[in-house]
Structure 1
Amino acid sequence: MNWSEQIVLLLVSLAANAFSALAGGGAGLIQLPALIFLGLPFGIALATHKVASVALGVGATLRHWREKSLDIRFAIFVMATGLPGVVAGAAVILNVPDRAAQMALGVLTIGMSLYSFFTPQLGMTADSRHRDRQGYLIGGLVLCLIGVLNGSLTSGTGLFVTLWLVHWFGLDYKQAVAYTLVLVGLFWNGAGAVTLGMLGEIKWDWLPALLLGSMVGGYLGAHFAIVKGNRFIKRSFEIVTFLVGLKLLV
């Protein structure tokens, strides 16, 4: 790539990951289609995007770690239940036509946006629940299924994790976004990147600009999420999920 194309990649990555870190997911809304538009086949674009998105987790982790807002045991639970699904999803996506799945995912994603919008108090305050054995079992199963989507379709699946942590475990949006960015951004996407890299192809010369934009965007988005609070994050989540759903449908 020439320097002008690298700058375009940097700006796209910076914008996509800043919005993602603010809303709790959705970097693939901008970044993945941009890679395809610039000439990469879907499989290579997906693997390259997945590697770059790990830097989003790094940038967000650097900011959220300063707040000491994560419960280590709960973080390990979210990471461990999702990773098997991520690896399974990444292993099969390169051989599976995904248009019908994207359509279904688009409808579901728009539904998430509307559900959050029409539930005004959702995620405004933390209300810990479902922390018994049955609650963790159901919660972990759903996280594993979301992990399959994360490893395969990639666009907006972090948003599913954010809303599930709010709805099922009673986290507020600020807490849920922190867990999503650190665990999905860093560990889930890392596992997906390794799997796709082993089975497919990564465009390594595109990565420097993508990694820099992802890391800086992740840090800035996480900073604004911490500063602005739950209501601002909730509105950002609803806007991004609606746009992700439209993107998947169109």
Structure 2
Amino acid sequence: MWNLVFLCFAGFLASFVDSIAGGGGLISVPAFFIAGFSPYFALGTNKFAATTGSFTSSLRFARSGKVNFSVIKYIIPFTLIGAILGVKTVLLINQDFLYPLVMALILFVGAYSLFSKNLGMENGFTKVTKLNLALGILLGFTIGFYDGFFGPGTGSFLIFGLISIFKFDFVSASGNAKFLNFISNVTSLVVFAIEGKINYLYGIPIAIFMVFGANFGTKVALNKGSKLIKPIFIVMSLGVALKLLIENYIL
């Protein structure tokens, strides 16, 4: 019972943070390990619960007009294809070589966002062009593949990429990123479900708390805007890099 209470609280906090700036897995996945879950069941059950929070957050962003469907309707299919290929590839290739590359990239994302005062503070999106659409499709496919294959920092990469390509502010970038991330999450969830790696007895109540957390986090993000999202985004980006560093080079 105490394990379930602990995981529900961790799930609420994780989905609250994730709906604002990504990186909720930094909180929820270690919580499953602390509760004694094996690695596959920890990842599978977390994916099940987190996908419900991701859906809730995406829906709320969409209803508030912060999801630009004229852009992401072209990116979604490529994100889905990338995620499928990523999940299949992970069964064949060792992930270890990705750690230093991901750490370097996400440290760059966090540091660049920290020192670039105007990044994502105003919405400079004007229209869809052939160039930004092509870059957006490439981003969706690449991050979808990465999320299926590995995962840490997916939200940070999507937000940073959407701001850089389409000149969104952090609120719009978070809304669009959350929608795309939901697509890749569902793909991974289906694979874990087929493999029987989800503990539904824990997953269902945790999912309910993640829905509440996602609702609350999205509400805060929409009300407080980019001034709140940017610092949380920077902290979570650098947190992912620090987690990877500790796991692979210190412990």
User: With structure 2 as the length reference, what TM-score do the two structures score?
Assistant: 0.90
Instruction: Give the alignment of 1:37-186 within 5 angstroms.
Output: 37-128=34-125, 131-185=128-182
**Cα distance, 1:199 vs structure 2:** 4.1
Residue of 22, 27, 43 corresponding to 2:24: 27
Identity between Structure 1 and Structure 2 (%):
25
- Is 158-167 or 83-92 further displaced after alignment? 83-92
2:97 aligns to what SS in structure 1? helix
**Cα distance, 1:162 vs structure 2:** 0.8
Give distance in 1, aligned partners of 2:29 and 2:96: 15
Instruction: Give the alignment of 1:6-17 within 5 angstroms.
Output: 6-17=4-15
Give distance in 2, aligned partners of 1:196 and 1:144: 21
Match of 2:249? none
Counterpart contact for 2:139–2:158, Cα < 8 Å: no
In the alignment, structure 1 segments of 5+ residues that lack a partner are none
Cα separation, partners in 2 of 1:134 and 1:37, compared to 1, 3 Å: same
Give distance in 1, aligned partners of 2:81 and 2:62: 25
Give distance in 2, aligned partners of 1:62 and 1:136: 23
| Letter matched to residue 111 of structure 1 | F
Counterpart contact for 1:127–1:170, Cα < 8 Å: yes
- Is 132-141 or 155-164 further displaced after alignment? 132-141
- Is 56-65 or 164-173 further displaced after alignment? 56-65
Counterpart contact for 1:88–1:151, Cα < 8 Å: yes
Cα separation, partners in 2 of 1:210 and 1:107, compared to 1, 3 Å: farther
- Is 201-210 or 116-125 further displaced after alignment? 201-210
**What are the superposed Cα offsets for residues 49-88 of structure 1, whole Å, 9 maximum, x if unpaired?**
2222111122213432431232323232232221111111
Residue of 218, 221, 244 corresponding to 1:222: 218
In the alignment, structure 2 segments of 5+ residues that lack a partner are 247-251
Match of 2:239? 243
Counterpart contact for 2:68–2:176, Cα < 8 Å: no
**Cα distance, 1:29 vs structure 2:** 0.9
**Cα distance, 1:41 vs structure 2:** 2.9
| Letter matched to residue 22 of structure 1 | I
